[in-house]
Homo-oligomer: A and B are copies of this chain.
Amino acid sequence: LHSVPTIHDIYKAQKRLAQQAVDTPLLRSPKLDQKTGATVFIKPENLQRTGSFKFRGAYNAMVQIADADKTKGVVAVSSGNHAQAVAEAGQILDIPVIVVMPHDAPKAKIEGVWERNAEIVFYDRNAEDREQIAAQLIKKTGATYVPPYDHLDVIAGQGTAGLEAAEELKNQGVTPDIFLCCCGGGGLMAGMSIALKDAFPELEIYAVEPEEFDDTGRSLRAGKRLENTRKSGSICDAILTPMPGKITFEINRLLVSGGLTVTDDEALEAVRFAAQKLKMVVEPGGAVALAALLANKLDIKGKTVLIILSGGNTDLVGMSAI
């Protein structure tokens, strides 16, 4: 019923994104290496256009919309990062954008959508179904739906982050042992895993999720898609999805070794470490892979580890009063 992206879809996405997305570097931190006893490479997608990896997938999907459909616009649902990404791509491609966002999304994300001239329809995470609201909007406008993760072009776009990381690691003659990926709906992990497993077939990949929102970890163990009981209540707002996507889970069940969880406090400690030691602004949901390292969730001593910082759109790290 649906098709799964291949490495060739990711190569094509990389060409489409060439003049638009930021080719984020791989960073090193002697401090982090010391603390973990591992050799850690950081892919900082908080430095990506719009402050998260989401721009890759959104632009890769939207640049392929037929001219005749562009004026009808795009509708998206998002906790805030996909929203900003779709809004940014809309500005570049001259496509009107409406996003369905939870009313409790961080201020930085709401403002990020408005300043890109997109419209927001707010909903309640606990009481309303965002997909239903989106469906009504699409029925009314004829807009194209751009899903946050469960879509071939979106997954292929996110995969370009994995392609870049693989290319840079190969340039440096490095073979990573482990890849830790922040996981919400699983689009980033699916896309990056396709690219990274193509380059490094022996790589072990782990999904990192907030405690009590470990739908992907539990689904991997069960061999089928399971839902989270809670729908809100973690500070990791970017990765609180109800359950793994159909397409993303089909990929991740094949390529991902398992799941790890971190508490909100561990995520916050990683946000703090990123600001103070790595000198980067990272949001809690974007810091869970780092949190898993800092909280010793996996034995990585002596290993070469790739982690992603997936976003930096947060109200938490700001200027203190002087």
Contacts and interface: CB of A to CB of B under 8 A. Distances in A.
Nearest to A46: B279
Contacts of A317: 275, 281, 317-320
A47 B23 CA distance: 17
A128 interface: no
A242 interface: no
A124 to B, nearest CB: 21
B312 A320 contact: no
Contacts of A44: 279
Interface residues of A, number: 35
A308 to B, nearest CB: 14
Contacts of A20: 30
A235 interface: yes
Contacts of A271: 319
A300 to B, nearest CB: 20
A93 interface: no
Contacts of A63: none
Contact of A51 (B22, B279, B312, B316): B279
A108 interface: yes
Contact of A316 (B268, B278, B281, B320): B320
Contact of A281 (B25, B108, B275, B315): B275
A142 B108 CA distance: 54
Contacts of A282: 279
Contacts of A25: 25, 27
Contacts of A319: 268, 271-272, 275, 316-317
A294 interface: no
A322 B237 CA distance: 14
A28 interface: yes
Contacts of A30: 20, 22, 49
B279 A47 contact: yes
Contacts of A318: 275-276, 317-318, 320
A271 B320 CA distance: 11
A268 B319 CA distance: 9
A280 B282 CA distance: 9
A29 interface: yes
Interface in A24-38: 25, 27-31
A279 B279 contact: no
